[in-house]
């Protein structure tokens, strides 16, 4: 069965970081830390998060 990128039920805000973590096979906390750094340093992380929230389907 192929892996599918979807929002996770392990939600802190919308499940995007949890879904990316599950898809990549890493802890969602690491993804959240990377996302926070991207938001604080580059500013583009927030925009990307919002787009993924709208595009990614919820998990089944």
Is the pLDDT at 26 greater than 90, yes or no?
yes
Q: What is the pLDDT of residue 27?
A: 92
What pTM, to 2 d.p., does this model score? Answer: 0.79
The structural domain count of the chain equals 1
Residue 38 lies in a domain: yes
CA separation for the pair 49, 56 (Å, rounded): 10
CA separation for the pair 60, 51 (Å, rounded): 20
Residue 60 lies in a domain: no
CA separation for the pair 23, 19 (Å, rounded): 6
Residue 8 lies in a domain: no
Is the pLDDT at 44 greater than 80, yes or no?
no
Residue 43 lies in a domain: yes
DSSP 58: B
Q: What is the pLDDT of residue 1?
A: 65
Residue 29 lies in a domain: yes
Residue 42 lies in a domain: yes
- Domain holding 49, by residue range, is 16-55
């Amino acid at each position: 069965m192929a892996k599918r990128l979807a929002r996770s039920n392990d939600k802190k805000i919308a499940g995007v970081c949890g879904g990316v973590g599950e898809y990549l096979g890493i802890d969602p906390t690491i993804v959240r830390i990377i996302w926070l750094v991207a938001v604080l340093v580059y500013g583009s992380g927030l925009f990307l998060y919002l787009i993924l929230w709208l595009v990614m389907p919820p998990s089944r």
